[in-house]
Structure formats: C-alpha cells, structure tokens
Structure 1
Amino acid sequence: MGFLVLVVVYGLFCLIAVPVLVFQVLGLKRRMRELEQIAAFRAGPPQSTTDNKAAPTAAPTQAPRPKTPAPSPVPEATRAPDPVTTASPPPRPPAAAKPTPAPPRPPAPAVRPTQADLFFGWLAQNWAYVLSAISLALAGIFLVQYGIETGILTPTLRVLAALVLGASLCAAGEWIRRRSGDGPDTHTAFLPSTFSGAGIVVLYAAVLAARHLYGLIGVEGTFFGLATVSAVALVFGWFYGPFLAAIGIAGGAVAPYLLGADSGDATPFIVYLTLLALTGLAIDAVKQTGWITGAALTLPPGSALVMAGMGAEPIPVQIMVTLLALAALVLPIRRLVPMHEGRPLALWLPLKTRPKVLPDWHVVAATGAVGTASLALLGLATDADAVVIAAGGLTLLTLAIAIWAVRAPAIADAVFAPVAIFLLLMLSPDIPAAPPVLLSVLLVLAVLAGFGLAWRSERSRSFRALWAALAVTLPSAAALALMLFQAPEFRLGTWPWTLHLLGLAALFTLLAERFAAADGGPRNRTAYATLGALTMIALALFTLLGLAALTVALAVLLVVASLLDRRFDMPEMTLFTLAGLATLTWRLVIDPGTVFSTYGPLFEVLVHHAAALAGPAAALAILTTHPRPRTRVYLETALWAFGGITISVLFTRWLIEVEPNAIGVTETAGIYATIWGILALAQYERLRKLGRAGWIRPTLALIYTLMALGALAGALLINPLFDDWLAEVTGVTIFNSSALSYLLPAILLAVASRRLPETAGRVAMGGAIGLAAFWTILQIRIFWQGTEGLAIRYGITQGEISTYTGAMLLLGAALFYQAVASGSALLRRAGLTLIGLTVAKVFLIDAAGLTGLVRVGSFLALGLSLAGLAWLDRWASGRRVG
C-alpha cells in the first residue's frame, strides 16, 4: 500500500515537473532574446568602414556622455568681456546644416519575475529535494501503518517509533544547518529544510495517530502535543529557509487522510489544521515571503473543507475559516491592529499604467482571506445551527473590517464579500426548517453589522457616503429578502414582523438625524438613511394593509419623498421615486394586477387606481419648480402609463357590466397588448427625453414591445372571422367586446405614432389603420349577421358587400379630406389606392350579385363618386403646386 502511494505521488510530481521544465526553458529563451535586444540597442548602430574613410570629420551619431556635468550658462549681462571674442571676427563660411540625432530611446524596463516564476524556477532546479522530503515524510507515516498491518508493535511503541523517527529527522536537519548552513549558496543547500520539514510532518502524524487511531491521549494531550510540534516548527521556520515551511504545511495538510480521517468526529483534525495554518502565518510574519502565507491560508482550510464535504460537522470548519481570516489581517504585518496602507484592490483593477505596479501581498492576503472565508461560511451553512454560525461569522468579519481595520484603508473593499454573502444567506433553504426566532436573530445580526458600518462612516476619511449606504443597505436588503423568501409574517405573525420593520425604520430615522447633525445639514448620508426608513415603512404597510390601502400608502410615500427632496435638496430621493413607481406598476399590472381591477369590488378598484394616479401627479406638482428634470420625466411617463392602464381596465369593467361574458381569448389578448404597449411607450418616452441610460431602458422597452406584439398577434390569429368558437363576440354593433381586442390597441398605436420617430411613427399609424379597418369589418358583419354567425364559412350577403363598398368610399373621402387639410401627398396616394381597390371590388365582386335598378343605382353612385373624387384630387394637386 505504501509503495503504491509513493508511486502515485512520484507520478503526479513528474506530470507537474515536466511541463514546468518545458515552460521554464521557453521563458529563459524569451528573456535571453530580450537581453540581446537591449545590449544591441546600447551598443548603437554599426558604422561601415567606407563611411568612416569618406567623411573622417563627420560627427558621431551619438555624442559621448560627459564625465562631469556641464557648467550652467552665465547670463549675458554678468559675463566678463573676452578681449579675443570682442574683436570683430573674420567672416566664417556658412556650414552645412547637421542633422540633429534623434534622442536615444530608454531601454525597456526589465521584466520582474512573479512569485510563481520564482517558485517554478526553483522547483525545476531542486526537484530532488522535494521528492526526498516527500519520501521521508511518507516513511514515518508508513511506519505507523506497518505496525497496524503486522501487529508486531504495541500501539504505544508504534507512536514512540514515529516520534523517535520525526525527532531524529529534525535533529539531523539541525545538525547539518549548524555545521554548513541552509542558504542557497552553500553546498548543503535545502538539506536541513528537507530533513527537518519531513521530521515535523512525522511528528504531527504521530500525535494524530496517538489520538485518532489508538486513543492513547485525550483532547488536552492532543492539543498539547500539536501545540508543541507547532512551536518547534515555528522556531525552525524562523531560522531555516522557506522550504521547511512549505514541507510542513503541505505534508501536514495531507497527513490526516493518510492516517485514515473519515466523516466521524473531525474536531481534533480541525484543531490541528488550524494550528498548522497559524504556524505558517507566524513563520511568514518573520520571513515575509508571501507565498508561505498563501499556502497557510489555502492548504489547511482546503483540507478541512474536504472533511466537511465527506460528512464532518461543519461548525468547527466555519469557526476555523473565520479565525484564519481574522488572523490574516494582523499576523502578516506583525501588528495587533490592521494598518494596511495604500490603494484597495478594487481600485487597482481599472489601472492601465505600464509598468503596472502590483498591490502589496499583505493586502492581497487579507482581502482574499476575508472573501474566501465568507464563501466557505455560506457553503457550510447546511442546517439551522450552521446558518446561525455563518451569520455570526459574516457579522464578525464585517465588524472587523469596519471597526478593527479602521486604520487600514487598503483592505476596506474586503467588506463587500461578507455583506454580499450575508444577503445570499437569507435565501438559504434551511431557514424554513429552523425555529421562527432564527428570523429575528438574523435581522438583529444584520442591524449589528449595519451599525458597525455606520460607525466606520463617521470615522473614515474617505468613502464616507459609501460606508453609510452599506450601513443602510445591509439591514434593509436582509429584511426584504426574508420577507420575499422566508414568509416571516406567517411564521412570526403579522404584528410581530411589522414591529420588526417599524423598529428598523425608527433606527434608520435616528441614524439620519445623527448623520445630519454630523454633516451640518441633510447630505447624501442623511438621504440614504431616510431612504432606508421609507423602505421599511413601505414593507410594514405591505404586511398590514389590504390591496387598495397599500396603493394609497405607496402613493403617500411618493409624495413624502418629493417633499423631502424639495425641502432638504436630496437628489437621492429619486431612487425611492423610481422604486415606488416600479412597485405601483407591478401592482397595477401583475399583483393584484388586472384581475383585481376587472373583477374586484368597484369602490376598492377606484381607490386603487385613483391613488396610483394621484401619487405621481402630486409628486410632479411638488417638483415642478425644483431642478429635478429626470425625476419629473419619470413621474410624467408613469402618470401617462397609469392613466392608460386605468382607462383600459375601467372600459373592460363597463363592458362586463353590459355583457357579463364579454371577456374571451381575443379580448384578454387585446387588453394585455394595450397595457404592455402603454408600458413600452412610457419607456420610449423616457428614451426620447433622457437618453439610453445604459442597457436597462432600451431592454425594458424592447421586452414590453415584444410582449405587446405577441399579445396582439394572438388576438389577430384567433379572430371571429375564422374561429367564432374561441373568438366569440358578445354585444351589439359597435358596443361589443371586439373593441377590447382591436379598437383599444388601434387607439394606442395612433397615439404612439405622434410620439415615435418618423419611420416608427408611420409603422404605428399603419398598424392603427389596419386594426381600425379590421374592427370596422367586424362591426359591419355583426350588423348583417349578428354575433352568432361571424365566421366566413357562413357566407356573405349582398347588403354586407355593398356596405363594405360604401365604407371604403367613405374612408377614401376621409383620407382625401385629411390630405387637403394637411397637405400630405402620402395620404392623397393612400386615398387613391383605396379608391382603386374599391373600384376593383365593385367590378369583380359586387357586380356579380346585383340586378335590375339596384345595379343601375350602384354604378351611377359609383360613377358620380369617382368623378367628384377625381375633381377633388385635381383641385388638391393644383392647390399644392400653387
């Protein structure tokens, strides 16, 4: 078994070492090429012998560098006269202009190798030491396993043999180091680290075997043994090279699995791995290599996470990763308080300067440790208890960055990880199975973290508004997530949950007062706290009030936000206005939506829609003279959209009162096409007045348009002329349900044609005319056939055909009139086209069914009409030309 493990390890090493050697050789060739180019540039361009003979007095291409700095020029007024130069010099022949040599380009900066380049370069040259350390460490572990397999030695002797072997290896390494040293310039380089590092791994394995395999020592003895070995490793790491720390961390992280760690009680292993990681951090606190810290923060926690994945208890692992994240803030910089100076990592990403200065590794280690620990806490929250520990750990990390690291601006952006992960934790599927009090605990922890962020906003010298925004966002978003995904009003009760929200609103109000007092008046921090208070009040109203009362409350909050903006000049209130308008739109369209507006009690429906209209109208009136053009556009377009939705819904209710069964498939499609079309037109109006504003507004406009067109296509495909079973019409001529299907969308398209660009407006007007014509055809057929025989398969009467002809003539005359009134050549051509179609219809369709005087009268009326329209066309053309 041991030989098989050794073969596998050796094979994996070969798979890693061979590519490393190949890439290392390629890197050396690239660097040699760059060095040759730099040397050739410094030597200058070669000069030919012929040129030197032909022009012996020519100036060199590059002047030699002076050994001493040239004296500074003396001004003319203070320069002493020279008797030689003051005499009139003889005239000098004009010299030929010498070309000015181009200034030499500075050599390219040397490429600084990264930590990865240094590591793989060292590995390519010293791979034998790595194999030696692995072999020695495995020898000690296999010694314990051999005793188990054969049963020759007692458990106590097996452990003592491993301890003796580990101590012997450490003693051998220390003896070599004291005689010859461990530096890279000695003939025994890395040998002391090899022996001592392997010995430390064997000592770790011996202590773990004494506890885990044989039960020879208790928890206290195990902790004492591991602490002693860690202390020895710590002292050795300070005096040896970094290779020893690498062996100790890597071998120590793998040792539990070689000793048979399973999914049982893994707490001793977690304690051991925590000590191992802390030892690595303490060693690098002196060595300051950076990569030892990285290994200590990845290998032991990674081993613990694997144990948790195998079924071990997650809570010890959660405590471990939280403790290591806190240790990573101070141990690498050797201070009790984080004091990382410089630029946060979030501000390094957009830098484009060359050569790019990399951030300090202390900053990378601290920020990465907090982010990794936050993700681990979320992943390990697999039951109710683990959810509580995860929330507590995330709160502790947030407070540590906000309060403990107040003098460390370079790691300030690390707070985003625990804040974001805390909000994701609110969506955990394990929360519903926990007691209801867990919801209160989570909200209290969010408030505690929020107060820490608010404290940082008071003490911070930069990004104060951002800290205040996080202080409000974390508790608010946590309450909203709990309300949307965990149903606290049912688990805690309506009034208890409402009191939670109102208490949070009171805390935000207090915070707004403190921010205003500190800033000397309402500023953006005060606005953020006010937004949080208004949001909590709105959520409380959602919990308590009914459908219509909730809409009234939201409308009142819109007015309050506008009053606060006008009184205290808070542009941030625009955010609440947008959120309020979006919520009102949701309530009018989705929940309770058109179903409640169509079938709900009339009084509540009227109050519901009146509040939705009155709120934006009052807010718009308040901001009429206030410099908030964008907010006014939002309110205007929302008011226009809400008005269109209200008209559509009330017309539908009226038709249902007349005909109780008026709403069918096509009517529903027409109503939704109108509503989504109104919302799309509102977005187009904002696009026209405010611009694109990124991708959100065009995307919304496109989505609403596609939904409106899809609903309209459904109304046209399932229509009464082809399928009068699904598309049944109720009512009488003109006053029937087909108005919901086709006339309402036609009116909307006609209105939209005046608001859209020229080409899109023409398309919309064409659609409006087509829908109006289709609706007119339906009304004529209802007049002659009734609502029971609208399908074409029932045939067309002669009177119906003649009515179609008369309607086409009237429409053509109307188009001519509009062409004369507006001077539009397009309408005139449309009228002529319609008249041509009418004539074709008369001769091809109508004439076949006419006889006697009816035929004579019909053609006489057609001839007189055509003569009159021809004269009107000539008159309109002459008037336009004149």
Structure 2
Amino acid sequence: MDGILFLAVVALGIVAIAQGQRVRALTRRIEWLEHSPRAQVPPVRAADPAPTPATTVDPGLATDPALAAARAAPALGTPAARRADAPPPVSPASAPKPDRPSLESLIGARLPVWIGAVALVVAGFFLVRHSIEIGLLGPGVRTLLAALFAAALVAASEAARRLPALRDDSRIGQALAGAGIASSYATLYIAAAIYRFIGPLPAFGLMLAVTALGLALALRHGPPTAILALAGGFVAPLVAGYDAAGIGPLLTYLALFTAALFLLAIHRRWAWLAIAATVAAFAWVNFLLFALGSSSLAAPAAFVVLLAIAATIALPRAGATARWLHIGPLFAGLIQLFAFAPALAFDALLWGFYLVLAAATLLLAWRDARYLSGSLAALGLALVLLGTSLIAPERGATLAAAPLLAALFAVPGLLLLDRGRSWAILAIGGLAGPVLLANLFAPGQLASWQWAVLELAAAALAAWTSWRRRAAIDQRDPGLIGGALAAAILAATGIGQLLPFDWIAVPLALATLALGLWARRTGDRTLFALPVIGVAAMVAAAVVPLGGYVLLIAESIIGETLPARALPALADALRTLLPPVIAVALLAPDRRQFAPMRAATLGLAIAIMLMLVYHFAKLPLAVLTEARFLTWGFVERMLVTQALFAAAWLLRRRTDLVTLATALFALAAARFLWFDLVIFNPVLVEQHVGSIPLLNAAVFHVALAAFWAHALLPRPTGPRAAMVLTFLAVLALVRQAAHGSLLTGPIGTGETYGYSAALLILALVWLALGIRRGGRDLRLAGLALLTGVTLKVFLIDAAALDGLLRILSFLGLGIALIGIGWVYTRFLAARPKASVAGD
C-alpha cells in the first residue's frame, strides 16, 4: 500500500505546481478589480439614471465560475449595481499590471484545497493500512475498498461542480478529480501487480478505461486534472507491467493515449499539453530501446514515425507558435531512428521508416516553408546514417536504400529550385552525397565504368543546378556555389574512375580549370575562391612525391651530403605535381582567381615548380655517391644557386613580379650563406672547385654572388654586400691558387703573402673607384682594408722574413703608403669644402 501514498503525493504535487501559476494570475486580476484607483470616477447625477452595462465575461476566466461571477456581478441589475457611484467596467486592455498576491491569499485561499486533496488520499491510505495491521481486511476487500474510495472521489468531484456552495470554486472539483484518478491508478497497481487478481490483458483494458476517465475529467475540470491524467496515463503501463501483455498492446495503448492527449490539446488550445505528451511519448520509446535491447524494435520504430508526424501536425493546432516546436518532433524522430539503426542492423524496415519520415519533412516543407529547416536536418542525418551504415559490419539494406535516398531529396530539390536556397541545398545534397559516400565506402559494389556513369550524370545535374541559380540576387547562393563545387567533385571522381589512381591529378586539374572558367563567366566573388579547393586536393593527392622533396630539403639543411637519394621517381613527380602548376598558371592571369587565397596559391604553385626544376637540376650530375659528391657537389650547388639568382634578376625587370623576384633572391642568398659558407664550405669539406686559377667554381660563385647583390639589393645595402662578397672572392682566389682544386689544408707562407698582396690590390682598387666615382663607402672600405693589410704585414708577414727580403718588404710598403697618402690628400684638397663636409 505504500505505492498508493507515493503515487498520490507525486501526482497531486505536480498538479499543485502547475495550477499555482494560473491561479496566481487570476487572483491578481480579482484584487485589481477590487482595489484599482482607476475605478474611482465622478458620480453620475441623480437625474440621469446610469445605463445598465452589458454583461461581459473575460474569456480567460471562463473556466473559473467564481471569478466569472465576480466579474459579471455589477451588471446583474441588483440595487448595488444601480448605485450612482458604482464604477464603470474597465476593459482588460487598459488595465494596469495587477499587484502580486499577498501571503494571506496564498495561504488562506490556494494551498488548503490541494493540501486537502492530498490529505484525502493519504487518509484513505492510512485507513486501509490500519485495517490490514489489525487483520480486519483481506486482499480482496482491500482492493475493493481502494476502488470504492477512488470512485467516491470522482463522484465527489462531480458533486462539487453542482452543489451551490462549492461550484463557485473550481479548485475543489479539480482536486477531488485528481485524487480520484490517482487512487484509480493505485488500485489498478494493487490488483494487477501485487495481488495478481487480474491478468495482463484485463489490466491493460482497465488502465485504458482509467486513462479515458482521466481525459474526460480533464476536459471538464481544466489543466490541473489534465496534468494528472497525463502523468498517470504514461506511468500506468509501468504500474501494470509494460511487457506483461506484449509490446504490441503497449504501443497501441501509448498511441491511443497520445492521440487522445493531442485531440484534447487541440480542442482546448493547450500547447503545453501537446508538448508534454510528445516528450513523454519519446521518453517511452527511449525506455523501450534500453529495455528491449536489439529485439522486437520494429514496432517501436514504427511508433516513432507515427509520433513524429502526429506531433508535428498537432503542435501548431494546439497553439504552439515557436518555429522550433513545429520542426522539433520531426528532428527528434529522425534522431530516434538513428539510435535504432544499429539494433535493427540497418535493415529494409529501418530504411523504410526513415525514408517515410524524411518524405514527411519534404511534404510539409512543400506546403509551408517554415518546415524547410527540418528537411535540411533530415538530409544531414540521412547522409550521416548512410555513411555510418556503409562502414558497419552489417550494411543490411543500405545499398538498396542509397539510390532511393538520393532520389527522395534530389528530385523535389531540382523541381523546386526556383523557390529558394534551401531547395537548392536539398538538390545538391541528394545528388552528390549518396553516390560519393557509396563510392567511398563500398567501391566494389559496381564496376568502375558504372560508377563513372552515375557520377558524371550527377555532375551534369549539379552543373545544371548551378546554371539555374546563376542569376541569384544573393551572393554566396548555395545553388550557384554548391552546385558548381558538387559538379566539379563528381566530374573529377567520375573521370578518375576511368583512369589509374596515379593520374588522379589530371581530372582534378580539369575540374579546377572548369571552376575558374565558370567563376569568370558569372563574376561571382565566392566562385573565384573555389579553384583553391581543387589545388588543395591535387596537393593532397601528391603527398608521396612532396614527402620525398621535404625529406630531401630536411637532409640538406642538416648537412647530409647525399640528399638526392630522397628524390621521388621523376615520372610520379611530373604526373602528380605538374597538373596543379599548369592549372594555376592558366588561371593566374585573371587577378580575381583564388581570392582571397591568391598569394598563397601562387606561392604554393611556384614552390612546386621550383621543386620540379630542382629535381631536373639534380639529374645531370647525379650526386648519389661520396665520390660523386667530392667531384661535383660544389659545382651542382653553385649551378642551382646561380640559376635562382639569375631568375630573380630576370623577374625583377617585371614590375608585377617584384615579390616573386625578391623571394627567389632570398632563397638563393640563403642557399649561398648556409650551404656554401657554413655547412658545405669547400675550405672545411673536401669538394673539387676546379684547378684553373681565377676561372674556377669557388671564385666564380662568390664573384657572381657579389654581382647579384649589387644589382638586386637596394642602396646602400647592395653595394655594401657586394664589397663583402668581393673580399671573399679575393680570399677564394688566393686559396685556390695555393691549394688547387681542393681547398682544404693548412695555410702556408706563400699563401699568407698572397693574401696580403691580393688584399692590398683590392684596397687600392676600392680607393681608386671611390675617388673616381665619389663613393664614400668605397673609400672608407679601401682605407679600412688598407689599414688591416698594413697591420698584417707588420705583425705577421714581416716576422717571417730576414735580411734583404725584410728590408725590401718594408721599403715597398712604406713607398706605397706614402704614395697613397699623397694621392688621397690631393683628392680631398681638390673637392669643394661642402662636398667634403657632406661626406
């Protein structure tokens, strides 16, 4: 019997909470009518009798006889109503906001009624419990008394509606009716679940009768009783045992009960009741999914479809105005079927249910555009479900359902393209999604040419969609943009079916060019960005050769002498990397292409092209062994670096390619500094540079670098860098003259003198050029170098000489320095003072 008390307290507590808000609003209106200052108006003269106002009843008070009577009382023709100072009725539209109810009205007028109803149920519980404890009643008598008590409460609720002393307060009848329904469900629980007086099928029949009685009472007594009927009706199957009579009768009961709630909600315009019924019904479905596992789920899945469609129809008619409530049941139904899918092994029944529900969303969207978001959600979930089922161990009827799914969304989307953007999305999703997913996860189901036919046909329809939407007013139209992109993907995939996978870059390049040409034809700004996707796809397809180049670069940077071993096969590199370069080169003249990723796309294409050129540059000398590196390593690096310098110089002459020229010069300079002066410096690492003095790779490489720096870098950076590189070239000249083709080894005496002589000549040349051209930097560099050479001669070179050689050395140096000083003095004296000061 403890279950009776629990059910009664919970049910009546729900009723009290729901009823409180409504009663609070009605009480505020009564108090305002009694105390509003606006009701005080000047009295009417005795000579002019006040007209009898027409009786007006607020529709919001129609369910409460006491409040309706109080509102209509001044118009009943009583003497009090005919008094001259009686206030005229005030329309609710002009009424001020009523005051909040007082604590006295809350405690004295509202709570006692519902607390009393709870007390009635509890009193009956304790009465029966006491009779059991003293051994007065047996199980049959207890059940009979509980049924009689429930019937008495229901009868009392009807009597309360008719007795003059009680009918003015509708809450009494509502409380008694709610207590009666709660007691009825408790009695059914006692008879069926505890004492087993009735079997499963009779229990379901009685449960259905009690539920019908609850709905009838809700229709008579209002929302509080409806709430109790809702709670009791959905809890009742648990009371009687949900699986006692089988899943079929349970779902039949739930369907009939939910339909009755929907009809009641529509009749009374109770949107809250329709929402609550929908939520509770879906909760039952989830409970069954958890309780039944993977067995007997076909009937619950069918119930989901019926529930989603019925709730979608009922909610707007019950007064639900929020847009999300209109599509919420459909979306919930689709999600619910998604949860059922693995348990049903993606069989034909599941797909049939899903297609029916998706078709319902499309039908509603065709009739009312507000449901289009539900159709888009159905498309997205359908594609997710399709992909999930294709990778599942058991695909069931998925492959047969895929074309039906495509037709379901694509056909109405194509037919209704002119209605707007959403229909274009449905068309594109139906055309591209199923065929691409099926080809990706189940390629062996069809021959390559069959996939090609399907994908090229879908590509043609997607292109037609983009063509139809070309005149769209809105930018970023999904039909125009999405149709073009889908057509490109489908066409590339279809053509790719007819080619070996190694040639996938060719159809991708064709699709990229088509997107660029279509963008130029329409002038749509968003379309100009789509070729970037094609370029990215081609780069992704070339990950293997690109990985080889990246490995080569990394090995070179860390000092690997034979990085050419990491070169990919030339045929693979050309087959995968040349198509994106060609596609970008053909589209690049139109400056709108690839925006806003134009700079990044062009840079990527140039980088790929440089990799290919570098690959070709590594082929002739084929530095693949240590012996080849010793012979040709320095020469190969020199040729590549000098080619980059020359390319930068040629591009610098084009004003629109200055950025590219600067990038190539920076790359060449970095190679020269890192490889030739640091990690692979021929003075430190053995490499042949050539045996001919002056005309060898070492001198030639550094001298040309000086020329490029002077020609390409801005002033004064260029000339200064050229002077530093010229200094290095002179050192390389002396080193090569002393050591021959291999520059490694110690510095000898003759080499030391050679450095002094060569650097002295260089200093004199810089001084002469500085004096002749008026170049201050050259003069200062010449003087600094001359000073350094002088110190070297005095401190290092002269220390190794004896006798006449030392005398002649110092004599020659002294005469040379005096001559240089005399010439430099005459130069400064001949220049205007302003010029000297300006230096």
1:538 paired to 2:522: no
Moved more, 644-653 or 759-768: 759-768
Corresponding residue for residue 704 of structure 1: none
Q: Is the contact between residue 218 and residue 225 of structure 2 (CA under 8 Å) also seen in structure 1? A: yes
C-alpha separation between the residues in 1 aligned to 2:99 and 2:664?
63
Among all aligned residue pairs of Structure 1 and Structure 2, give the percentage whose two residues are the same amino acid.
Answer: 17
| 1:775 Cα deviation after fit | 0.8
C-alpha separation between the residues in 2 aligned to 1:508 and 1:296?
42
C-alpha separation between the residues in 2 aligned to 1:407 and 1:613?
50
C-alpha separation between the residues in 2 aligned to 1:407 and 1:182?
50
Q: Is the contact between residue 498 and residue 543 of structure 1 (CA under 8 Å) also seen in structure 2? A: yes
1:577 paired to 2:531: yes
Q: Is the contact between residue 492 and residue 510 of structure 2 (CA under 8 Å) also seen in structure 1? A: no
Corresponding residue for residue 777 of structure 1: 677
Q: Is the contact between residue 197 and residue 245 of structure 1 (CA under 8 Å) also seen in structure 2? A: no
Moved more, 374-383 or 827-836: 827-836
Corresponding residue for residue 256 of structure 2: 275
1:319 to 302, 309, 313: 302
| 1:580 Cα deviation after fit | 2.5
1:465 to 421, 426, 434: 421
C-alpha separation between the residues in 2 aligned to 1:13 and 1:729?
94
The DSSP-based 3-state class of the residue aligned with 2:366 is coil
Give deviations 1:402-438, integer Å, cap 9, x for gaps.
Answer: 3234343334323332222222213326753224752
- The alpha-carbon distance between structure 1 residues 529 and 182, as it changes in their structure 2 partners (threshold 3 A), is farther
| 1:285 Cα deviation after fit | 0.9
Across the two proteins, how many residue pairs are aligned to each other?
Answer: 663
Q: Is the contact between residue 169 and residue 198 of structure 1 (CA under 8 Å) also seen in structure 2? A: no
Give deviations 1:206-243, integer Å, cap 9, x for gaps.
Answer: 99869x9899466xx78866665554444333222112
C-alpha separation between the residues in 1 aligned to 2:390 and 2:236?
33
1:300 paired to 2:273: no
The DSSP-based 3-state class of the residue aligned with 1:479 is helix
RMSD: 6.4
C-alpha separation between the residues in 2 aligned to 1:199 and 1:755?
93
1:195 to 179, 182, 186: 179
Q: Is the contact between residue 527 and residue 572 of structure 1 (CA under 8 Å) also seen in structure 2? A: yes
C-alpha separation between the residues in 2 aligned to 1:731 and 1:469?
64
Corresponding residue for residue 733 of structure 1: 633
Corresponding residue for residue 652 of structure 1: 615
Residues 507-656 of structure 1 mapped to structure 2, 5 A cutoff:
508=462, 525=479, 529=483, 531-564=485-518, 574=528, 577-589=531-543, 602-603=570-571, 605-619=573-587, 624=590, 629-631=592-594, 638=601, 641-649=604-612, 651-652=614-615, 655=618
Which of these two proteins has the greater Rg computed from alpha carbons?
Answer: 2
| 1:127 Cα deviation after fit | 6.8
C-alpha separation between the residues in 1 aligned to 2:657 and 2:173?
79
C-alpha separation between the residues in 2 aligned to 1:266 and 1:657?
80
C-alpha separation between the residues in 2 aligned to 1:126 and 1:590?
81
Q: Is the contact between residue 277 and residue 296 of structure 1 (CA under 8 Å) also seen in structure 2? A: yes
C-alpha separation between the residues in 1 aligned to 2:614 and 2:268?
80
C-alpha separation between the residues in 1 aligned to 2:226 and 2:338?
30
C-alpha separation between the residues in 1 aligned to 2:670 and 2:245?
75
- The alpha-carbon distance between structure 1 residues 444 and 410, as it changes in their structure 2 partners (threshold 3 A), is closer
Corresponding residue for residue 775 of structure 2: 876
Residues 49-198 of structure 1 mapped to structure 2, 5 A cutoff:
128=115, 170-179=154-163, 185-186=169-170, 188=172, 190-198=174-182
1:859 to 738, 752, 756: 756
1:374 paired to 2:374: no
Corresponding residue for residue 314 of structure 2: 331
| 1:467 Cα deviation after fit | 1.6
Q: Is the contact between residue 133 and residue 247 of structure 1 (CA under 8 Å) also seen in structure 2? A: no
1:817 is aligned with what amino acid?
A: H
- The alpha-carbon distance between structure 1 residues 321 and 640, as it changes in their structure 2 partners (threshold 3 A), is same
C-alpha separation between the residues in 2 aligned to 1:614 and 1:805?
37
C-alpha separation between the residues in 2 aligned to 1:187 and 1:17?
10
C-alpha separation between the residues in 2 aligned to 1:530 and 1:451?
18
Q: Is the contact between residue 815 and residue 831 of structure 1 (CA under 8 Å) also seen in structure 2? A: no
1:876 is aligned with what amino acid?
A: G
The DSSP-based 3-state class of the residue aligned with 1:817 is helix
Residues 282-431 of structure 1 mapped to structure 2, 5 A cutoff:
282-312=263-293, 313=295, 314-334=297-317, 361=321, 363-383=323-343, 385-386=345-346, 391-428=351-388, 431=391
| 1:277 Cα deviation after fit | 2.9
Which 5+ residue runs of structure 2 have no aligned equivalent?
Answer: 38-93, 101-108, 553-565, 689-695, 735-742, 779-834
Q: Is the contact between residue 505 and residue 533 of structure 1 (CA under 8 Å) also seen in structure 2? A: yes
1:434 paired to 2:403: no
Give deviations 1:695-741, integer Å, cap 9, x for gaps.
Answer: xxxxxxxxxxxxxxxxxxxxxxxxxxxxx9xxx9797323569999x
- The alpha-carbon distance between structure 1 residues 816 and 214, as it changes in their structure 2 partners (threshold 3 A), is same
2:715 to 807, 810, 823: 823
Corresponding residue for residue 677 of structure 1: none
1:251 paired to 2:232: yes
1:330 is aligned with what amino acid?
A: I
C-alpha separation between the residues in 2 aligned to 1:383 and 1:739?
67
- The alpha-carbon distance between structure 1 residues 769 and 655, as it changes in their structure 2 partners (threshold 3 A), is closer
- The alpha-carbon distance between structure 1 residues 642 and 111, as it changes in their structure 2 partners (threshold 3 A), is farther
Corresponding residue for residue 432 of structure 2: 476
Which 5+ residue runs of structure 1 have no aligned equivalent?
Answer: 41-106, 114-121, 341-359, 663-723, 789-802
Give deviations 1:46-81, integer Å, cap 9, x for gaps.
Answer: xxxxxxxxxxxxxxxxxxxxxxxxxxxxxxxxxxxx
The DSSP-based 3-state class of the residue aligned with 1:733 is helix
Moved more, 806-815 or 857-866: 806-815
- The alpha-carbon distance between structure 1 residues 387 and 499, as it changes in their structure 2 partners (threshold 3 A), is farther
Q: Is the contact between residue 351 and residue 398 of structure 2 (CA under 8 Å) also seen in structure 1? A: no
C-alpha separation between the residues in 2 aligned to 1:660 and 1:134?
99
C-alpha separation between the residues in 1 aligned to 2:390 and 2:309?
27
Q: Is the contact between residue 4 and residue 183 of structure 2 (CA under 8 Å) also seen in structure 1? A: no
Q: Is the contact between residue 425 and residue 482 of structure 2 (CA under 8 Å) also seen in structure 1? A: yes
- The alpha-carbon distance between structure 1 residues 533 and 244, as it changes in their structure 2 partners (threshold 3 A), is same
- The alpha-carbon distance between structure 1 residues 248 and 864, as it changes in their structure 2 partners (threshold 3 A), is farther
1:466 is aligned with what amino acid?
A: S
| 1:305 Cα deviation after fit | 0.6
Moved more, 306-315 or 749-758: 749-758
C-alpha separation between the residues in 2 aligned to 1:111 and 1:764?
80
- The alpha-carbon distance between structure 1 residues 657 and 270, as it changes in their structure 2 partners (threshold 3 A), is farther
Q: Is the contact between residue 204 and residue 229 of structure 1 (CA under 8 Å) also seen in structure 2? A: no
| 1:773 Cα deviation after fit | 0.9
C-alpha separation between the residues in 2 aligned to 1:363 and 1:471?
24
Give deviations 1:532-588, integer Å, cap 9, x for gaps.
Answer: 444333222344421354322222333444555556777775465343233222223
1:449 paired to 2:409: yes
2:443 to 473, 489, 494: 489
- The alpha-carbon distance between structure 1 residues 386 and 555, as it changes in their structure 2 partners (threshold 3 A), is closer
Q: Is the contact between residue 262 and residue 310 of structure 1 (CA under 8 Å) also seen in structure 2? A: no
The DSSP-based 3-state class of the residue aligned with 1:194 is helix
Q: Is the contact between residue 587 and residue 593 of structure 1 (CA under 8 Å) also seen in structure 2? A: no
| 1:448 Cα deviation after fit | 0.9
Q: Is the contact between residue 337 and residue 350 of structure 2 (CA under 8 Å) also seen in structure 1? A: yes
C-alpha separation between the residues in 2 aligned to 1:749 and 1:112?
84
